Chains A and B, each alone.
Chain A
Amino acid sequence: MRFIFKTRYEQDINLFQHGGQMFWYAVLGLVLMAAPFVVSSYVLTQLSQIFIYSIVAFGLMLLAGFTGQLSLGHAAFLAVGAYTEAVLAIAGVPFLVSVPLSGLFAAVVGIIVGLPALRVKGLYLGIATLAFGTIIEEIIARAEPITGGNAGLMVPPINLFGLRFADGPAFYYLAFAFALAAGLILINILRSPTGRAFVAIRDSEISAQSMGVNLAVYKTMSFAISAAFAGVAGALYAHNIRFLSPDQFTVVQSIELIMMVVIGGLGSIHGAVYGAIFLIALPQAINAVKPFLPLFLSEATGLQPTIFGLVLVLVVLFEPLGIYGAWLKTRTYFDLFPFYRQGMFRRQKAFQKSDRLK
């Protein structure tokens, strides 16, 4: 077990707490940089997709995990970003201009969707965002002249300084860079006053207010940042999938996004990435084991939702901090070996606390 003796306040503020941490992140970075030389182009596309969903997860984690605002309409922000990017790319707008615009437009939509958050909380907010998500999906389906409606929309490849980022490795590095930047921005926000204000709102609105946190401003800001992340991710998504249609952004997708952060571990930045990996890797894993399953299972279209649902239920029942929590326990076990005790992470039994009065 490692003990860190802190002698300067900067040590609590810096990105890495100690050299070991920095080393392992550097190793991870190098592995990811080398991936295109090792893996197949199909796997590379999936890795890019993981980066893209990590960006969404970072944003949603900020909103749901750190500000405590439930969003059940997050796929709509992804859709707004994706369609904005597609339409701008078709119009010939360069990538470096269209991506910020996609993020910005999604942020504006996010501010509008966040308006009910100023009046309602918790599950009511979830339902309000769900309603917004459905309406936005419907608008996209009906705005045929711009979005192609239900027939869908083809997306041209990225054009950056005359280079085409259509093929695997180039796009992979681009997505990697964006995910890295998004992660850094999230960490930076969380270690500064804005991020602390978000956490304050999550834990107690009433005392956040008494400490000088303007609830309306910070809730709106959280929605805007979260939606902007989803919008940028949507822009990348459009280029990775190359074909957009409204049924990629339904309520079901929104729910899968929130599942992603819950399974990854609410309130943890690592959890966002774990959740993204889970969301992308699970269907692949299921496809991989399908040939070995009995026919009635491998033929069933419901196999994937069943496993998804099962994992979700098991996570909440046994590992409320998600994959991140499981990792934390495993690490503590080895850190303390052989002194780890069974009950160390046991939760207290409780009665239903009223959420109506939060």
Chain B
Amino acid sequence: MSAPFFEAHGISVQFGGLKAVDGVSFTVDKGEVFTIIGPNGAGKTTVFNIVSRIYDPSAGKVVLEGEDITEVPAHRIAKLGIARTFQNIELFEHATVLQNLLIGAHVHRTTNPVAEALFLPSVKRAEVALREKVEEVIDLLDLAVHRDSMVAGLPYGARKVVELGRALCTRPKLLLLDEPSSGLNVEETEDMAFWIEDITKDLGITVIMVEHDMTLVSRVSDRVLAMNQGRVLAMGSPAEVQRHPAVVEAYIGAPAGPGMAPLEKAS
């Protein structure tokens, strides 16, 4: 059997005395949707920040396709094929949706600044080519209506989609989605679920996501990892993890009794 597509090996990180993530290990196979769940403060986003190299882990390593990426600087991550979204949306507010998506395609630039300053014909051709790729994402995510709108004026749901689109424009192999459905209404969450399925099935992109909405988790995930206080509680299929006593205890605070209903998003 070949090496796994993605591997986190005993990663830990400390803030002062607090161990935010403590020896977390997991592997993700190619084409899988792998979800990390857990109560607030469990260290889920911190795991993302380690993988996308915003934080340095104090121990452990992160491996993508057999290559150790633990020491890679954050701006090289996109080039390696990892893209991410942010929990609280980090878009380029004072730019249009189209410009945001084009920045997503930044790693695929083929022109140099000198040629750009003169705007040589080659730059123009490259820009059109870049635009064509971006338009594919716009089509996929139905963003055409917002194409020339400023991000600052968009409703929350649309921003979430733009952020997903921006991540897709980097043409990633691995997509990290930090709470893709938070703040979305039922209909928008439904759309998001469809897109996540499209992304994995049609585009062949592996997805790791952090999510609270258990309906969405059960629907799209192949495997689920439950965390609490920086440690792994359980890992397995969505149904298995939801029934796992440690997971139930972490959410509800009491040992699981028989016949306990599976967790639903409190809303």
Which residues from chain A sit less than 8 Å from chain B, CB to CB?
A: 9-10, 12-13, 185, 188-189, 191-197, 199-200, 202-204, 206-215, 221, 267
Contacts and interface: CB of A to CB of B under 8 A. Distances in A.
Looking at chain B, what size class is its interface with the partner chain?
Answer: 35 or more
B92 A213 contact: no
B208 interface: no
Contact of B116 (A9, A192, A202, A267): A192
Contacts, number: 110
Interface stretch (B33-41, B120-128, B234-242): B120-128
A203 B123 contact: no
B99 interface: yes
Interface string B101-140: 0111011010101001111000110011011100100000
A317 B102 CA distance: 33
A204 B83 contact: no
Given A207-B91, A212-B76, A189 B170 contact: no
Contacts of A12: 98, 131
Nearest to B84: A210
A192 B119 contact: yes
B117 to A, nearest CB: 5
A354 to B, nearest CB: 13
A197 B103 contact: yes
A215 B107 CA distance: 13
A16 to B, nearest CB: 13
- At the interface, is chain B mostly helix, strand, loop or mixed? helix
Closest 5 A/B residue pairs (Cβ): A212-B78, A203-B92, A192-B116, A207-B90, A212-B107
B76 A200 contact: no
B103 A192 contact: no
Contacts of B54: 206, 209-210
A305 B139 CA distance: 54
Contact of A200 (B73, B86, B103): B103
Contacts of A215: 75
Contact of A189 (B116, B124, B128): B116
B92 A204 contact: yes
A267 B91 contact: no
Given A9-B132, A210-B78, 19 more contacts: A13-B131, A188-B123, A191-B119, A192-B116, A192-B119, A193-B109, A196-B95, A197-B103, A202-B94, A204-B91, A207-B91, A210-B54, A210-B77, A211-B83, A212-B75, A212-B77, A212-B106, A214-B75, A215-B75
Contacts of A185: 117-118
18 contacts: A9-B128, A9-B131, A9-B135, A10-B124, A10-B128, A12-B98, A188-B117, A189-B116, A189-B117, A193-B109, A193-B130, A203-B91, A207-B91, A207-B92, A210-B52, A210-B78, A211-B78, A211-B170
